[in-house]
Structure 1
Amino acid sequence: MRTFARTAAVTALCLAVAASPAAAATWAVTPTPGGDLSRLNGVAATSATGAWAVGSAYDFTLGAERTLVERWNGTSWSRVASPNGSQLYNRLYAVDAASAADAWAVGFVETAHGVNGGGDGPKKAAAWHWNGTAWSIGDLPGAAGTPSVTGVDALSAADAWAVGSYYDPVAPARGEVYTAHWNGAAWTRVAAPAPGDYLNEVTSVSGTSGADVWAVGEWRDQGKGQVYHPLALHWDGAAWNSVAAPDPAGGTGGALRAVKAISPTDVWAVGYRDYRTPVAFHYDGTAWREVALPAPGGTGNTILYGLAATAADHVWAVGYTSSGAVTPESLVLRWDGAAWRSELAPPSDLGSTLLGAAAVGGSVLAVGYRNVLSGGTTTNRTYGLRGLN
């Protein structure tokens, strides 16, 4: 462990771009619409007064999750009408916007009841589009198995990516990477590398141009303890290519859950190892390297799910940490150009988790869910934080 700490510290110093640490953001809760059994999974911002957050909210009359879309006006969140593709479960995982009048969200539509109910029926991948006036819904191109599409990046009105994974039952059956591209008129499936013979999946996508896009996730081989490894794919304008990402030090494999491309030589990815310890990786235009994070402490789990950035020394990672406590608490980390440091997030009574983040100007928005007591039982409700720096 001491060797890893020294190596990571040297890496962090090599990445320094500022002579002194930037000031930490000041975080406060921003009330978000959403009743019992609701959450926000992703957020995107086009300006300090324009942002979108997406997720799901349970409809107790229908007995199913419905799409949840909220809009930020610089002061508060309000719910915006969003379509559903069926009377069953519909869920949004991620959102991104090319402009105030052009945004995409991705998720799934349940097409038939499952054996046990509760959203376990067959599903299809779908994309929702905002045209400046209203949200509409359309299918994403299919795959051999039901795709789970969890990431989206809108580079322009004629250039967007949706990513995820699907199960391919054709021998050798395995999980496969799913990517689809929007060219301004239609979505098209695009082939991507799959290094694992058991599982391959990407969960997040971010690019700086049509010839510089990253998608990250994990891959595994059959057997051998099914150790999972970071997966990093790069789109060069013509094809997806696998770029080596090392396993995190001090553990047995690791997975990446979010990526943020600031420039072609400045890309961050975060996730976890051993399902309990957070990790961060940086790409400098040549290779991916692990960068040290503050020790989470305690015996609980600490996982990072979201990333946001406005500059090389203004990068935020969000997730949760339990640190031995009964309930998780929101976690915010900040790369200040020299090192990752913890920022103080407001505590919640029964715990909370942040799943996505977006930054623009001097404002950072983070969303997820919090735990509350309702009717004598614990349930999830939407949760939002705003950081100012």
Structure 2
Amino acid sequence: MKFWRVPLAAAAAVVMAAGPTVPAPASAATRGDFKRVSLPFFWPNNSLRDVDAASPDSVWITGSQGEITLPGPIPGTGTSIPGNPVVRRWQNGEWVEYDLLGLPGHGGINDVDAVGPEDVWINGTDYDAKKPYVAHFSGSAFNQVTLPPGTTATTLQADASGVWLSTSTDLYRWTGDIWTDEWTRVTAFPEISLDTSYVRADDDVWRLGTTSEWSSTFVAQHWDGQTWKNAPIHADGLGTGFGFTDMVALSPTDAWAVGTDYGTSPASAVMMHWDGTAWTKAAVPAGLNALTRIIKGVDGDLWALGHNLDEAAKPGLLHYSGGTWSRVPTTAVPNRTNIYATALAAVPGTGALWTLGTVNIGGPVVLTDG
């Protein structure tokens, strides 16, 4: 999961198991022909927050459903009853549900990271217990993982390099196994107002944000395994209306971050690049007024997701290859005039993309070009 500093109201304003032979990844030219994937029944007031893929037959979505608001004696004084968690796996052409052990009541799952088809991590909130919920998939159910003492908030990142847990104060790496719940502390965090973060290794950790919640002084902090250092960040022209939404680090000298500047009219998509010396703005292809996600593809390239200003019913998709970002044509969501896409995943082996977001009519949608 990534932190979002820009208020959701501002975002709303922008809106209105694989076989033995693995196919070669499809070229970027074949991507973007999105088709809607039918969703299972969810209770009203549902939302989907993340998608990730371990194989063409192991694609995961997470979110929540069924939140209820009881009206109060005067408008605006109602009571909200939290909904229930959503975790589903796309397998054999249908959605499969698994037990979330240790989360018997109300809750929401913000993040899913699929390291392998049977090696999946989720992170969210147990609303009844008022504490974070982290669990690991065993192949038949999600088993709750014990968190470091005193943990009150978490973000999770799990991939081939390891499993990383960020609390409000510290970074931990998973060193347990199926028998033990064990986290090894990597470092304490310096204090900033955090937008987004990324862990590539024990000695390559980034945190991007501002010096305080309402500050327009942007800061990029890097952990090299020994100390935290402030990296130069050239954010000329960006003020309190801007916030980073996601980032990815490819090496100690190559990292990318995306965000949206709501201080312009219309809002504008922003991308920044770290070249080992400083963070500087990168050119964004015209037509997008928000960037929400950036991921590594299956063949070493990059994909960025956002909102199309000029074709609002089509997900905004950018591709990076050969040193250049280019806009990728996408298919419009049928019978809708707007989609605000917020999550993106590339399927290992095929390169197919899955995305999800909200549309102007109805609940969330899930799309794939696979």
Check whether TM > 0.5.
Answer: yes
Change (3 A) 1:178 1:309: farther
Cα deviation, 1:289-328, whole Å, max 9, x if unaligned, reads 321112336xxx523234342244x3111133456x9x88
1:49 is aligned to 57
Give the superposition deviation at 1:78: 3.9
**Which residue type is aligned with residue 135 of structure 1?**
F
Specify every segment of 5 or more residues in structure 1 that has no aligned partner in the other structure, as ranges.
1-20, 113-122, 166-176, 374-379
Give the superposition deviation at 1:68: 1.1
CA contact under 8 A between 1:322 and 1:329: conserved in structure 2?
Answer: no
Is residue 39 of structure 2 the alignment partner of residue 32 of structure 1? yes
Cα distance in 2 for partners of 1:247, 1:34 equals 47
Cα distance in 2 for partners of 1:309, 1:39 equals 26
Is residue 143 of structure 2 the alignment partner of residue 136 of structure 1? yes
Cα deviation, 1:186-207, whole Å, max 9, x if unaligned, reads 13555434254xxx22534342
Is residue 306 of structure 2 the alignment partner of residue 319 of structure 1? yes
2:157 equivalent among 152, 155, 165: 152
Cα distance in 1 for partners of 2:65, 2:190 equals 34
CA contact under 8 A between 1:30 and 1:77: conserved in structure 2?
Answer: no
1:163 is aligned to 166
Change (3 A) 1:367 1:333: same
**Which residue type is aligned with residue 366 of structure 2?**
G
Cα deviation, 1:223-245, whole Å, max 9, x if unaligned, reads xx6215253434x4x45634515
CA contact under 8 A between 2:356 and 2:366: conserved in structure 1?
Answer: yes
CA contact under 8 A between 2:208 and 2:219: conserved in structure 1?
Answer: yes
Give the superposition deviation at 1:84: 5.8
Kindly report the root-mean-square deviation, in angstroms, between the aligned alpha carbons of the 2 structures.
3.4
2:212 equivalent among 206, 221, 235: 221
Change (3 A) 1:93 1:247: farther
**Segments ≥4 residues shifted beyond 6 Å:** none
2:295 is aligned to 307
2:116 is aligned to 99
1:3 is aligned to none
**Which residue type is aligned with residue 238 of structure 2?**
G
Specify every segment of 5 or more residues in structure 2 that has no aligned partner in the other structure, as ranges.
1-26, 70-79
CA contact under 8 A between 1:93 and 1:107: conserved in structure 2?
Answer: yes
Change (3 A) 1:49 1:186: same
1:67 is aligned to 85
Question: Aligned to 1:310, what secondary structure does the other structure show?
Answer: coil
2:355 is aligned to 366
Q: Scaled by the length of structure 2, what TM-score is found?
A: 0.72
Cα distance in 2 for partners of 1:227, 1:106 equals 30
1:295 is aligned to 286
Change (3 A) 1:189 1:279: same
Cα deviation, 1:128-165, whole Å, max 9, x if unaligned, reads 11122211223433558x42x34422336xx3112364
Cα distance in 2 for partners of 1:306, 1:315 equals 7
Change (3 A) 1:57 1:143: same
2:258 is aligned to 270
Give the superposition deviation at 1:357: 1.5
Name the % identity: 25
Cα distance in 2 for partners of 1:205, 1:85 equals 27
Cα distance in 1 for partners of 2:219, 2:84 equals 32
Cα distance in 2 for partners of 1:74, 1:240 equals 47
Give the superposition deviation at 1:332: 1.7
Change (3 A) 1:155 1:250: same
CA contact under 8 A between 2:245 and 2:291: conserved in structure 1?
Answer: no
Cα distance in 1 for partners of 2:306, 2:41 equals 20
CA contact under 8 A between 2:259 and 2:290: conserved in structure 1?
Answer: no
- Residue correspondence of structure 1 range 198-217 to structure 2 within 5 A: 200-207=193-200, 210-217=201-208
Cα distance in 2 for partners of 1:99, 1:329 equals 30
Cα distance in 2 for partners of 1:214, 1:192 equals 12
CA contact under 8 A between 2:234 and 2:279: conserved in structure 1?
Answer: no
Aligned length: 320
CA contact under 8 A between 2:55 and 2:116: conserved in structure 1?
Answer: no
**Which residue type is aligned with residue 186 of structure 1?**
E
1:23 is aligned to 29
**Which residue type is aligned with residue 106 of structure 1?**
N
Cα distance in 1 for partners of 2:102, 2:67 equals 12
CA contact under 8 A between 1:306 and 1:319: conserved in structure 2?
Answer: no
